[in-house]
């Protein structure tokens, strides 16, 4: 069975990112194609659990493992975890009109563990995290990941009101937010991204199988 990581990028406490990732997980479990994809396991991953400092390795990640090795245990642990997944769903918050620093730092720790694998970008914020989504997609494409064309951008109803402040200050998804995100149009966007993602997974599997023959 292939594993797909749902990576929560926020590292602060409290953080609403975990609830956003749980919404992604539960929504995808209800997807119409779930019964046809029983060989894919969705696994939550919290960057905060790895306690990564600002990148502190002496080696360049692109040189690992062929020409160099990580020295620090936190790097080895993070590398081993990411390497084990066939693809990723990046759940990214937008901080000050950009990708959260902790998320970029976690990405920068690795290189060969990421390249070639498919990814869905799910962003959230007052305006759906659209700037973070665009930045992250550009970064991942440059790093040779296969980014699903559909970008899921989740906003909080009411702008700078109770819903967004509850998310930021208490780490909770409010009633109106849940209602908004569970509308068919929002869920369908996630399902569309998932179908693209599965197509990219299959594409990579075929390429890997062909490479093994050569």
Residue 175 neighbours by CB distance under 10 Å: 12
Which CATH number covers residue 35?
3.40.50.360
- Which residues in the chain show pLDDT less than 70? 214
Question: pTM of the predicted model, to two decimals?
Answer: 0.94
Which pairs with CB-CB distance under 8 Å and at least 24 residues apart come from 182-186?
182/27, 186/152, 186/154
pLDDT at 189: 97
Q: How many domains in the chain? A: 1
Q: What is the pLDDT of residue 212?
A: 82
Q: Which domain holds residue 150?
A: 2-213
pLDDT at 190: 97
| CA–CA distance, 84 with 41 (Å, rounded to integer) | 12
Question: 3-class DSSP state for residue 141?
Answer: helix
Residue 32 has a pLDDT of 80
């Amino acid at each position: 069975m292939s594993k797909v990581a749902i990576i929560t990028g926020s590292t602060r406490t409290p953080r609403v990112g975990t609830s956003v990732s749980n919404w992604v997980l539960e929504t995808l479990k209800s997807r119409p194609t779930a019964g046809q994809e029983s060989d894919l396991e969705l696994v939550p991953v919290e960057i905060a659990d790895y306690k990564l400092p600002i990148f502190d390795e002496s080696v360049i990640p692109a040189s690992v493992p062929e020409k160099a090795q990580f020295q620090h245990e936190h790097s080895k642990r993070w590398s081993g975890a990411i390497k084990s997944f066939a693809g990723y769903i990046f759940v990214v918050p937008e901080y000050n009109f950009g990708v959260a620093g902790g998320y970029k730092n976690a990405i920068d720790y690795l290189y060969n563990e990421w390249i070639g694998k498919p990814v869905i970008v799910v962003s959230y914020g007052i305006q759906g995290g659209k700037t973070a989504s665009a930045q992250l997609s550009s970064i991942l494409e440059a790093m040779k990941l296969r980014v699903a064309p559909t970008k899921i951008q989740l906003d909080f109803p009411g702008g700078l009101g109770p819903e967004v402040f509850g998310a930021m200050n208490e780490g909770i998804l409010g009633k109106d937010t849940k209602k908004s995100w569970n509308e068919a149009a929002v869920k369908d966007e996630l399902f569309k991204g998932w179908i693209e993602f599965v197509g990219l997974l299959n594409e990579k599997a075929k390429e890997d199988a062909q490479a093994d023959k050569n």
